[in-house]
Amino acid sequence: MKNRTAIRLTIVILTIGVLISSWKYFNRKYSYYAYVANTGDGTISVIDTEMDEVIETIKVDDEISDGIAANPMNNEVYTANYRKGVLNIIDGINFNIKEKLELGRNIHGIDVSPDGKFLYVTSGDLQEGEEFNYIMIYDTKERKIVKEIKSNSKSPAHISFSEDSKFAFVSNVMSNDISVIDTEKQEIIRTIPVGNTPNEGKLSMDGKLLYVANLMDNVLSIVDIEKESEIERIPAGKGTHGVAVTDDDKYVWTANRFSNDVTIIDLESKVVVETITTGKVPNHVFRVPNSKKMYVSNLDSGDIAVVNTETYEITKKIKVGQKPHEIGFLQYKN
C-alpha cells in the first residue's frame, strides 16, 4: 500500500514538473536582437534590446557598407563590403558568417522585403557615375542575384518596401528623386522628385505616405503614394539623414547629422515638437520593436543612444564599433 502511494506521489510530482516546464517553454518572452553595422572597423555589434547591452561582436571585414538587413523568415543578416562588392550572409542567431557572394559592384544600401523573399542592394554614393546607378535583386531562397536594374536616376542609396512587398522605394542621392519599383515585374515604374540629397525613407504605418529625409536642405519630404507626388516639406534638423515612424503614425523622428540631434515631428500639426541632442553626428534612428524605445546611431561618438519615446529622455548610451550606421532587428525567445 505504501509503495502504491509512493508511486502515485512520484507520478504526480513528475506530472507537475512537466507541466511547469511546458508552461515556461511556451510562455517564454519574445525579445529582439539589434544588429549594428559599424562601417569603420568592419564589425557588427549585436545588442540584446531587452538589456540594451552588446552581447556579441561579429568581425566581417576591414570595413563594411552603411546598410544592413535582417530577415525574420530565415534569421539571416546581410551586410557587405562597399568597395570589394562582397555580400556577407550571416546566421543571426549563431552569429557566424555562412556565405560570401561577390557581386562585382559597389554596395551601399541593403534592405530585405517584408516577406523575406528578396534582398535589394544598391550601388549609390555621394558622387556621379554610371557605376553608382545600379540596383541588384538577390533571391534569398535561390541564393543568387536574379535581376540587375540600371537606374536612369543617379546614385540609388536607401530602400524601403510596402508592407505587402509589392513595391520598393529607392532614394537617389544625386538626382534628388525616388524610384518606385514594381517588385513582381522587377522594374522601375515611376520616379518622384523630392528634396536635395534624399537619404533614408520610411513608409507610414498605414502605407499611404512615404517620409524622406533630405540631407542638404534640412527638410522631411512627405510623398503621397497614391498621388505619386511630394505633397509637403517640413523643416527638420540640419543634415536630415535618418527617419523613423512611431507605431501610432502620429510622429516622425529624424536623425540630423549636422546639428547632432534628433527632431520629433507631430504629423497632425506638421511642426517639430521636440529636439534631443543624442551624440556626435546622429546618423540613423530606428524604432525598437515591441518597446517604447528608439535607437539612434551616433556616427562619430561610436555609440547607440537609447531614447524613451514617451519621456524623450536618453536612458542609456551603448558603446559599439567605429562609425555605426544602420540597424536591423531579429526576434528571439528568452
Domains of the chain: 32-333 (2.130.10.10)
User: 307 near 276, Cβ under 8 Å?
Assistant: yes
| Phi-psi map region of 225: left, alpha, beta (phi>0 left; psi -120 to 50 alpha) | alpha
Tell me the per-residue pLDDT of 139-192, one tens digit each, with 9 for 90 and over. 999 999 999 999 999 999 999 999 999 999 999 999 999 999 999 999 999 999
The pLDDT of residue 21 is: 43
Distances (CA, A) of 52 to 44, 48, 291: 15, 6, 12
Residue type, 17: G
pLDDT bin (cut points 50, 70, 90) of residue 16 is low
Q: Which three cell numbers stand for residue 94?
A: 549563431
Of 235, 212, 236, the C-alpha closest to 224 is: 212
Tell me the per-residue pLDDT of 275-313, one tens digit each, with 9 for 90 and over. 999 999 999 999 999 999 999 999 999 999 999 999 999
Euclidean distance between CA atoms 261 and 281, whole angstroms? 8
How do strand 303-308 and strand 314-319 relate by DSSP bridges? antiparallel
Strand partners, 277: 261
Q: Given 3-state DSSP classes, what are the helix, strand and coil percentages for the chain, each rounded to the nearest 5? A: 10, 50, 40
The pLDDT of residue 82 is: 87
Distances (CA, A) of 2 to 12, 15, 16, 156, 177: 15, 20, 21, 79, 83
Residues 6+ positions from 35 with CB-CB distance below 8 Å: 44, 45, 46, 47, 68, 70, 77, 92, 327, 328, 329, 330
Tell me the per-residue pLDDT of 192-235, one tens digit each, with 9 for 90 and over. 999 999 999 999 999 999 999 999 999 999 999 999 999 999 99
